[in-house]
Amino acid sequence: MSRKNLTVAGLVTAAFTVVLLTFALRPAENVTQREAVAVPNPPQEKTLKKTALVQDVSATDHLNRVDVSKHLSTMLAETHGASPQDIAVYAKRLQQGHGHITMLMWIDFHAHTTKTFQSSLPEGTDQENKQLLKYLKTAKAALKGHQSYESPSFIIGKNKYYFMAQRDKTGNIGVIALINQKILDRVAEHQLKNLRLIPYPKEGKYRVESVHTDTLSDITVKTGHDNENASHFYENEIVVRFQNGHPTRGQLQTIVADIHCKQPRKLGYAYIFRADQMNYSQLKTYFVNKWHPAYTEPHYMYLTNDTVNKKPVGTVTPNDLLFSTYQWNLPAIETELGWNLSKGSKEVIVAVVDTGVQASHPDLKGKLLAGYNAITKGSTPDDDVGHGTHVSGIIGALVNNNEGVAGISWYNKILPVKALDNSGAGTTYSVAEGIIWAADNNAKVINLSLGNYADSQFLHDAIKYAYDRDVVIVSAAGNDNTERPGYPAAYPEVLAVAATNASLEKASFSNYGDYIDVAAPGDSIASTYPESQYAALSGTSMSSPHVAALAGLVRSLNPDLTNKEVMALMTKNAIDLGDPGHDKYYGWGQIDVLKTLQAASGSPVPLQLWPQHVRLQLNQLKQRLEKNF
């Protein structure tokens, strides 16, 4: 056989093998999954949104406990051997920057001294004060026993608090913090509006029922994401064996009340407790201190010993505190691999037309430009809602700073434009003014996580103004689970973004329609929040900045591309979901950072990314074969 015939035969054999593998490996239910997307009816939608709200609040609680723990351990490390005056200065600075740290108590076990900073404890009823002092006493006892401690949440007056205590490595110093959890009420109130669980806007001067300017919202948690927060054991579960065999019914009732859990599972001599609002470390502290069990241990998961969970070669994994556990959204769009090609550029500005941004947030330090306030002329664009700060963190929270979350862009500057007031709403004028101002002040990308169902010529003119100046404009589709077009997302000059969850499904709250261009993660997204905190929020408002950040990376990598070309690259290189090709639920599919940047670079694939390039090519071939058969 000639070399030419051998080559042809080889290609035919390879193609035939791919076809066989394609159909052998394709799940049997794949066809039915592409046939339809389940759209919840109104009662189901309301239930899902209530579940979403609870999950966002719970995830925010977890995020902030992790963040506070880091601040306390950093304080102990950085003040080791410092003078009392320097310690007091550090404590004052920490509390000024983090208003939720209501009290700091410094205990020197070697010198037998205690110093309390900002010492006024909250006052409640006699019963509430008694409970506070009980948890404070337990925190001190835990430190004395060389243990860390986190109390359950408790109510004082109208606010919710908890204690956290840590001891330094030498064992000589301990610190106790009283944390105000007002962020949980703030997130809950915010999500009630944004998920439309209450008439909106309930307060403020805008009384239009269809107003949709603040589309921050939602969360659908049917993804099992909670169970994936820990890699080798269930984060919120603990296995306990008691010293004296089995606890009495009354003792079990006490435990259930203390840790707010359902009845435990019993197997042999041991009990498994699950508490959604406490992690394993907190549960262990509780059982050891109160019940002195024979043993406690995590509820381990046993996995096959293969390499399926290994990250691909070339993956850039940042050291940000909350990244590995909470930021499922960045790996879902291949951000870590994409960083090999572009991490952004300070020359390419991404504007966030929203509620403003907390300029002093430590995870946004150096990333923000001066910005503009279209609500109160002459004032700085401060965030009095939380929405704009959260959106900005998704785009550009500092990466590899051992703090909080990682943004998608390492270097792009963010231009905050406040066009929505303290109720999360704004007029057509303020939004249009914000868009025009951003375009006139060198923004190359504008994110609009806001909307309305009214087609405004005035707003459309502002959109056209920015588009004609080569700006990429990205907007959230909305969170009402409706096919009715929302604006500005539905304007042809705007890239309209729907929301997906961790299972690559349409998020239950996400709007849909033929105007949708792409989808992006929008379910329980961790990001920056006012008062130097972090929150997990859901909604197409969270999806839109993923796409805006990608546009910033593309324009950084290839500045010669026009806005139209950038938008086309993102749609053409999206991962197809739902019906083949464009559909009303996902548009062209979920954005893919790596694939889009590869297309934008116009250069050969880097050697370290060659395996991923081959995988993408095979997936594309598989998709084409599926469409043809």
- Contact status, residue 327 vs residue 405, Cβ threshold 8 Å: yes
DSSP summary character for residue 347 = T
d(CA 418, CA 430): 8
Active site residues: 354, 387, 541
Q: Return the SS3 of 171.
A: coil
Token pair for residue 356? 């403003």
Q: Which residue's entry shows tokens 């001067």?
A: 205
- Kindly tell me the burial class for residue 28, based on how many C-beta atoms sit within 10 Å of its own C-beta (0-12, 13-18, 19 or more): exposed
SS3 499: strand
Concatenated DSSP letters for 131-159? HHHHHHHHHHHHHHTT--EEPPPEEETTE
The torsion angles phi and psi of 120, rounded to 5 degrees, stand at: -75, 110
Asked if 465 contacts 451 with a C-beta cutoff of 8 angstroms, the reply is: no
Distance CA 239, CA 264 (A): 10
Please state, in angstroms and rounded to a whole number, the distance separating the CA atoms of residues 43 and 27: 31
Length of the chain: 629
Report yes or no: 468 and 447 within 8 Å, Cβ to Cβ: no
Question: CB atoms < 10 A from the CB of 518, how many?
Answer: 30
- Strands 237-241 and 472-476 turn out to be unpaired
Q: Are 453 and 486 a contacting pair, CB within 8 Å?
A: yes
Residue 39 DSSP code: -
Neighbour-count burial of 75, counting CB atoms closer than 10 A to its CB (0-12 exposed, 13-18 middle, 19+ buried)? buried
Answer for the pair 67, 531: CB distance below 8 angstroms, yes or no.
Answer: no
